[in-house]
Amino acid sequence: MRDEPLVLGIETSCDETGVGIVRGSTLLADAVASSVDEHARFGGVVPEVASRAHLEAMVPTIDRACRDAGVALSDIDAVAVTSGPGLAGALLVGTSAAKALSLGLGIPLYGVNHLAAHVAVDTLENGPLPEPCIALLVSGGHSSVLRVSDITGDIDPLGATLDDAAGEAFDKVARLLGLPFPGGPWIDRAAVDGDREAIDFPRGLSHARDLERHPYDVSFSGLKTAVARWVEARERAGEAVPVADVAASFQEAVVDVLVRKALAACSDTGIDMLVLGGGVAANSRLRAVAEARATAQGVRVRVPRPGLCTDNGAMVAALGSLMVARGRTPSSLAIATDTSQPVDQVSARE
C-alpha cells in the first residue's frame, strides 16, 4: 500500500481550482478553491475572471493539498491534469502548473479528460471500477451515457444531450425562479418542500418515435421552455409562482429522463453496473430515483459522495493514478489544452 505511487491531480477547467492527492486509490487530500462567488452576479462563469482566479489560487492550493496529505512536493511520483474539455484560459493555467511540476520534479505528466475523471473519482470511495459499466455523466457542460470498458482509454459514448446539459438546465431554471447561481443545489433544496407531481412538465426524447432514433440521448431545451412559459403565465395573471412546486416538478422531469435513459443502456447492453458522475450526480433526487429504479431492475448503482461529484482535483488524481497503474504512456510536455476534448479521448492528444 505504501509502495503505491503518490499522484497529484490538478483541475482548472471551469471555476474550481482543485488539487487532489491520492496514493493508489486512497484519497489523501482534496483542496478546492472556488471563484464561484465572483461569477454569481453575472449569472454564469466569466472565463477571464476564472482564469485570473486560477492563477492566484494555484500555488496556495497545491501547498494546502500537500499539507493536508502530509507529503512534500518532492514525494510526488506523477502529476495528472485536466487537458480538456473546459475554458481555454482556465485549462491553460492548470496544464502550465502541471508541466512545471513535471519538469521541475522530473516526474511523468498525464493530461487527462475532465469527463472521464468525473467517472474515475468513484474508485476513491467505492473501490475498483467494474468494467464494463454504464456511466451517466451529468455536469454543467455535458450530459452523456457512456459504455466504459476501460476508464483509462476505452470509452464508448452511447448517448448525449442534443442541446442543454442537465446542469445547464438546472442553472437556467433556477435563474427563472430567482434562485442564485449555480442553481442546481438551490433547486435541489427548494424541491424538498415541493410537490413533484404539481406540474406535468415534458420528458424530452421519450416518445416511442424519438426512442427509436435517440435511445440514450437527452434534450432539455423543450423542458426549459415549458418551465419558462408556465412561470410567465403565472406572472402575467398576477399570481405568485410556487417556487418549490416548480422546482420539484422540473427536477422530477430531468431525473426521470436521465434515469430512464441510463437504465435502458444497462438493459440493452446487459451491463448491470451504473456509475453516476458529474455535478448533477450530487442531486438528492437523482441519487434516490436511480438507486430505487436500478435495484428494481437488478442493476447496482455507484455514486461518490456529493463533494466528489462537483469539480475537484481528487478526480483528476484518481484517473491519473489509474493511468499509472495500467501502464498508460505519459503525456509529453508539448500537449495542448483541448477546449472540446471529446469524452472518448481520455488522454490529451499529442
Q: Which does 282 bind (CB under 5 to 8 A by kind): ligand KG4, Zn ion, none?
A: ligand KG4
Report in angstroms how near the CB of residue 4 gets to Zn ion at its nearest: 26
Which of 65, 311, 318, 323 forms a contact with Zn ion (CB under 5 A)?
311
- Name the minimum Å distance from CB 277 to Zn ion: 9
Complex with ligand KG4: residue 115 or 271, whichever CB lies closer: 115
Interacting residues with ligand KG4 (CB under 6 A): 14, 139-141, 167, 170-171, 182-185, 188, 278-280, 282-283, 310-311
**Binding-site partner at residue 171 among Zn ion, ligand KG4, none, CB < 5 to 8 Å by type:** ligand KG4
Residue with Cβ nearer Zn ion (12 or 139): 139
107 vs 174, which CB is nearer to ligand KG4? 174
Cell numbers standing for residue 300: 447496482
Task: Choose the one of ligand KG4, Zn ion, none that binds residue 188, judging by a C-beta under 5 to 8 angstroms depending on kind.
Answer: ligand KG4
> Residue 141 binds which entry of Zn ion, ligand KG4, none, with Cβ cut-offs from 5 to 8 Å by kind?
ligand KG4
From the list Zn ion, ligand KG4, none, pick the one residue 277 interacts with, judged by a Cβ distance below 5 to 8 Å according to partner type: none
Nearest to 97 by CA among 71, 69, 58: 58
- Judge contact between 147 and 156, C-beta under 8 A: yes
Q: How far is the CB of 282 from ligand KG4 (least distance, A)?
A: 4
Residues sharing a CB contact under 8 Å with residue 268, sequence separation 6 or more, in sequence order: 215
Question: 304 in helix, strand or coil?
Answer: coil
CB 311 to Zn ion: min, Å: 4
Among 51, 139, 341, 345, binds Zn ion (CB under 5 A): 139
- Quote the least distance from Cβ 80 to ligand KG4, whole Å: 16
CA–CA–CA angle 2, 305, 249 (5° rounding): 165
Hey, which residues does 81 pair with through a beta bridge? 10, 111
Q: Which stretch binds Zn ion (CB under 5 A): 27-35, 139-147, 232-240, 254-262?
A: 139-147
Question: In the bound complex, what is the minimum distance in angstroms from residue 136's beta carbon to ligand KG4?
Answer: 13
> How far is Cα of residue 319 from the mean position of the Cα atoms in its chain?
13
Q: Least distance from C-beta 201 to ligand KG4, angstroms?
A: 16
75 three-state secondary structure = helix
Residue type, 235: E
- β strands within 87-210, DSSP E: 109-113, 133-138, 143-150, 154-160
Distances (CA, A) of 129 to 120, 136, 153, 270, 318: 8, 14, 14, 17, 11
**Which of ligand KG4, Zn ion, none does residue 20 bind (CB under 5 to 8 Å by kind)?**
none
Considering only residues 251-310, where is the footprint of Zn ion by CB under 5 A?
none
Partner interacting with residue 108 (select from Zn ion, ligand KG4, none; CB below 5-8 Å by kind): none
Please state, as a whole number, how many other Cβ atoms lie within 10 Å of the Cβ of residue 150.
14
Closer to ligand KG4 by Cβ: residue 214 or 287: 287
If we measure between CA atoms, which residue out of 207, 206, 195, 205 comes closest to residue 250?
195
- Could you tell me which residues are beta bridge partners of residue 218? 161
At 161, is the secondary structure helix, strand, or coil? strand
First to last CA, the chain: 32
CB of 42: closest distance to ligand KG4 in angstroms?
15
Q: Is residue 341 involved in binding Zn ion (CB under 5 A)?
A: no
Would you say 139 or 144 has its CB closer to Zn ion? 139
Q: How far apart are CA 308 and CA 321, in angstroms?
A: 16
Query: Which residue intervals of 270-333 are DSSP H helices?
Result: 284-296, 306-309, 314-325
221, amino acid identity? S
**Is the Cβ of residue 18 or residue 108 nearer to ligand KG4 in the bound state?**
18
